[in-house]
Amino acid sequence: MNGSVISYEQAIWHPFGRIETSYTYYSFFDGNLKFNLFLTVHPYNWADTNDTHFLRNIHFYDTLRGGLGLDIGFSISKFPKKDNGLGFTINISQSTLTRITGTTASNNTGVYSGPLTIDEGFSAKMESIQYYISLGIIIPVFGH
């Protein structure tokens, strides 16, 4: 065997709105401690995928539309100095996408493959829950 066996590409679009709030605790001796909460809503999502199996000479095209996405999370940041210089942060969040459904179509690969035909009995669906934990260093770019 030589060359590509399978190719896959995906385009995802999901607009969002975000609400975020933060509180900073100031201490003359201990620096600053900042708390941040956020909620993000993705009201409508779409994804298109191309999946080509070269050895089988078949091309699949999936379309997904709709659904709802929610992200919720918080972060805690510590600045050892009161002037918000170098800092450290921990972020924890969860991202969920639900009820995204669509169709699957296919055709043979090649110059005379013809149009895509909807594959009856098959459909596309996406459900996703992801958790994120990150640690970071905050480096100020502009001074006061």
Number of domains in the chain: 1
d(CA 129, CA 86): 33
| 101 is a domain residue | yes
Q: Name the residue range of residue 130's domain.
A: 6-138
**38 closest CA partner among 132, 104, 115:** 132
| 144 is a domain residue | no
| 28 is a domain residue | yes
Q: Is 143 helix (H, G, I), strand (E, B) or coil?
A: coil
Percent of the chain with pLDDT over 90: 35
| 130 is a domain residue | yes
pLDDT score at 39: 96
Percent of the chain with pLDDT over 70: 92
pLDDT score at 140: 80
**107 closest CA partner among 52, 48, 65, 49:** 52
| 13 is a domain residue | yes
| 1 is a domain residue | no
Mean pLDDT, the chain, whole residue set: 86
| 125 is a domain residue | yes
Dump pLDDT digits (tens) for 45-71.
888 999 988 888 888 889 989 888 999
> Please, which pLDDT band fits residue 143 given cuts at 50, 70 and 90?
low
pLDDT at 83 over 70: no
Q: Please state, in angstroms and as integers, the Cα–Cα distance from residue 74 to each residue in 16, 35, 103, following that order.
A: 18, 7, 36
pLDDT score at 144: 54
